[in-house]
A and B are shown apart, each in its own frame.
Chain A
């Protein structure tokens, strides 16, 4: 049973560019959440997707957007990259919708470096 997978593992971009990160949830999970983890900090909630719609959003600007596909996989897009966007981006999945109390499982993350 594959866990949560993310691609790519590492990514280097320059300021002003756009980036797309991808996540495949754990088998049987239908809800995907994205987190940004800056160096030395805990993860910060970006947003959550369920039934192909954004259900909840943290305190992140509109430059951060996402998408969920019918197979429950998800993308995180960041436009107009800033140096401060450099971080580890974590995807987490859970089952039975956003109101479920099921445990959330995390992927290995994508390390984004903005130069």
Chain B
């Protein structure tokens, strides 16, 4: 089974600064999707960004961007110009294209934004 590892249980960043959250995964598949989800204290899991493995170009969504290194099986999230509203638990997720597009999640990184 695929595994997703987030080695940073907690991170903090000063408001307006940049922070990078790490994620590695293990798979033998060549085609898959990777996601970053944000889960605020309100519990609703919100999609931050998505990357298709077949695309070499790193995905970006406004202040959020990823560094996708397929050979290294690494998928980090960079948050630029951090805002107080970015404080949340961030989950990295792997989606297989087999077995019903099942998701595999990491254990999460709790991000604190310091005013």
Mark out the residues of chain A between 81 and 115 whose CB falls within 8 Å of any chain B CB in the assembled complex.
88, 90, 92, 94, 98-101, 103-109, 111
Question: Is B47 positioned at the interface, with any CB of A under 8 Å from its CB?
Answer: yes
Instruction: Write the nearest CB–CB distance from A77 to chain B, whole angstroms.
Output: 20
Digit string of B29-53 for contact with A (CB within 8 Å is 1, else 0)?
0000100010000111111001010
With a CB–CB cut-off of 8 A, which chain B residues contact A73?
A: none
What interface size band does chain B fall in?
A: 20 to 34
Question: Is A48 positioned at the interface, with any CB of B under 8 Å from its CB?
Answer: yes
Digit string of A29-50 for contact with B (CB within 8 Å is 1, else 0)?
0000101000011111100101
Q: Is the CB of A45 within 8 A of B103?
A: yes
Q: Is the CB of A55 within 8 A of B91?
A: no
What interface size band does chain A fall in?
A: 20 to 34
Instruction: Write the nearest CB–CB distance from A58 to chain B, whole angstroms.
Output: 7
Closest 3 pairs (CB-CB, A-B) = A42-B105, A56-B100, A106-B45
Q: Give me 14 A-to-B residue pairs in the complex whose CB atoms sit less than 8 angstroms apart, sorted by A's number.
A: A35-B105, A40-B108, A42-B4, A42-B107, A43-B105, A90-B45, A94-B101, A98-B100, A104-B103, A105-B47, A106-B46, A107-B44, A109-B44, A111-B43
Tell me the A residues contacting B by CB distance below 8 Å: 33, 35, 40-45, 48, 50, 55-56, 58, 88, 90, 92, 94, 98-101, 103-109, 111
In addition to A42-B91, A103-B50, 16 A-B residue pairs with Cβ atoms within 8 Å of each other are A33-B102, A33-B103, A35-B103, A35-B105, A40-B107, A42-B107, A56-B102, A58-B102, A94-B101, A100-B101, A104-B95, A104-B101, A106-B46, A107-B44, A108-B42, A108-B43
